[in-house]
Amino acid sequence: MIRLKKIALLFIVGFSFAAHAQNTYKNWPDIIRKNNASWFGTEEAKKIAENVLLYQRDIGGWPKNIQMQNELAPVQKKELLEIKKTTKETTTDNGATTQEMLFMSKMYAQVKDDRYKESFLKGLNYLLKAQYANGGWPQFYPLKKGYYTHITYNDDSMVHILNVLKEISEETDFYSIKPSKEIVQKAKTAFDKGIYCILKTQYKQNGVLTAWCAQHDEVTLLPAKARAYELPSLSGKESAKIVLLLMSVKNPSAEIITAVKNAKVWFEKTKITNLEEKRVLNDAGKVIDKKMIVVQNGSPIWARFMELENNEPFFCDRDGIKKKSLDQIGSERRNGYAWYTDEPKEVLKKYDSWAVNNGVKVSENPSDKKKANFLTVAQDGSGGYSKIQDAIYAAPSFPYDKVTIYIKNGLYKEKVRVPEWNTNLILLGESKENTIITYDDNFSKVNLGRNSTFYTSTLCVEADDFTASNLTIKNGSGDNGQAIALSVTGTRVRISNCIILGNQDTLYLSGKNAKQYFKDCYIEGTTDFIFGGATALFENCIIHSIKSSYITAASTPQESEYGFVFKNCRLTAEPSATDVYLGRPWRIYAKTVFINCELGRHIKPQGWENWSKPDAEKNAFYAEYNNTGEGFQPQKRVIWSYQLTKTQADQYSIENILKEIIPNWYSSKQ
């Protein structure tokens, strides 16, 4: 720890300077997707927008693989002006055009410059013009000779287009620019034609629907070849995003339901669980070798290319000759291409909920999903149970397979306990906004002595290997002292896409050697509203303070390497909450780290407080790295906190924090 402090102090001056840079993203797509909304109103963003306008051709499209944030020399600007009237290299490949449209939408939301609006609408018109009569899109438009004319699912090109048209046709608030009703109707027609094309191109293997190829012939709709090493094949990668798009369609037709069901079966059939990819990196972080290692019960992966006849994976070098394994091709293609993917795990993860919502049997084979392993709770009597706790009582103890309790929308006013023998349990809500578990216990109401706080939880999870998603978990007692919404003492617990509401002590995380994972959650409270001694990783969460107080109160055991780690989170607050600390130590060895987070102005400049425990200043570990926002003031933090170097921050990977107990249990797509 002493050595770490010295390293941190040595680099603090350089890091503090870097932290003030307005934009830390090097890749163009990251600049668009990862910057907060207010950044798009800065002078830096406006300067980049001028480049984006220059790169857009008059037809409406953009070229691909351009780092548009890079400064342009006068001669480059002149060249771009000269070719604007041409259609040179306009494409939707590698995210081109759709990502620039998103940039222009975010710019227009902050700066009402009509040029941004016009640019977006020209891009939309380009997408509409580029569509084939059969509903597909080529890789380049106007058409470029060669395989570029094929209907292109490769790198999710067509899915990106359809997602744009879906937002436009449904008139959502995703884009700040609102087209005319006529354009909205055109977008709806184009979207429907695109879905029709997807359904027509789903490959039949021995008469059974399976998945999709990266390219399909624009006339015959059959799988087609692209580059020499991209032979006609079923794609484990591109098919995943296609299915997720189909699953997002409201009130799906029978044809869409059939397509999704068959694709899901194919993904189950083709998953690989006995191989794991190992990468060797050089000092610059570049992959210099890939090897496939044999493992037992590995996290599922899929080959990118599979034989049309029998789903066997194959690999190709630039000579176009099929090989059976990755190690049989040269290092240039082996290391420079993505041959495996885990993207279909997102389909398998979401399938059960999608199936129930659309009246589809979760399994056509009763032996695949025993009744005891899928229970439904519904207040209207349409499920097997009207109370969540009753379904938990009915669930098998220490099951070998996952047990899912599907909870339909409703307000469930009950205290829920998942005992330690209900392992492998999933609580799956119908929707996070409308599937609500709530109770109103608090310290005074329970009145069981000095430890009354720990009896107040609305949902108490004591079991290992627990999952919850699509739920609101609320302690509704109001601002009346300690009152837990969610208490977790089990390990290997995953909470995703949930809303967790309370005031003081909203979320209690503990358990001996416990590892817990929160992803895409909204967590709200007042004082010490995330507290306890567990190791917990929070990713892409919104942490909302209701009043001026403290966010975290860790009680990390001395021997634990990690405590609470927040990555890519947003810290927000009510307007009245103007003085909020990142944390204070419940116990003196508290560990809390914020990495790549957006900190609102409510965060106090000093960041941390010692809770009148001088020993905590010597033993606690409070640190930050690469945060942004008005609340990130590293030069004003208390002197006993740390600003990490990149090397130090890299140690806070999901693998290091969570993986050592059971490999791959934590996966963000499981």
Residues assigned a catalytic role: 505, 528
Q: Which two tokens stand for residue 597?
A: 């987070």
Q: Which of 159, 149, 137 is nearest to 225 (CA)?
A: 149
Beta strands (DSSP E) in 251-373 are 275-281, 287-294, 302-303, 315-316, 322-323, 340-341
Write out the H or E segment, with its range, that includes residue 472: strand 472-475
Helix, strand and coil content of the chain, in percent to the nearest 5, comes to 30, 20, 45
Cβ-based neighbours of 639, under 8 Å, separated by 6 or more: none
Task: Check if the beta carbon of residue 555 is closer than 8 Å to that of residue 531.
Answer: yes
d(CA 363, CA 240): 19
Place of tokens 């706790």: 389
Cβ-based neighbours of 196, under 8 Å, separated by 6 or more: 135
Task: Check if the beta carbon of residue 606 is closer than 8 Å to that of residue 637.
Answer: yes
Length of the chain: 670
Place of tokens 């999710």: 156
d(CA 157, CA 165): 13
Peptide bond preceding 74: is omega within 30 degrees of 0, i.e. cis?
A: no
Write out the H or E segment, with its range, that includes residue 543: strand 542-545
Question: Angle 43-55/114-130 helices, nearest 10 degrees?
Answer: 40
Question: Angle 344-357/238-247 helices, nearest 10 degrees?
Answer: 20
Beta bridge partners of 536: 516, 564
Write out the H or E segment, with its range, that includes residue 336: none
**CB burial string 121-155: b at 16+ within 10 A, e below:** bbbbbbbbebbbebbbbbbbbeebeebbbbbbbbb
Helix (H, G, I), strand (E, B) or coil at 630: coil
Peptide bond preceding 614: is omega within 30 degrees of 0, i.e. cis?
A: no
Task: Check if the beta carbon of residue 295 is closer than 8 Å to that of residue 328.
Answer: no
Helix (H, G, I), strand (E, B) or coil at 167: helix
Beta bridge partners of 407: 377, 429
What distance separates the 2 farthest-apart alpha carbons in the chain?
Answer: 79
Q: Compute and round to an integer the Cα radius of gyration of the chain.
A: 26
Q: Which two tokens stand for residue 25?
A: 């993203």
Place of tokens 């699912």: 153
The backbone region for 403, taken as left when phi is positive above 0, alpha when psi lies in -120 to 50, beta otherwise, is beta
d(CA 648, CA 94): 32
- Give the Cβ contact number of residue 365 at 10 Å: 8
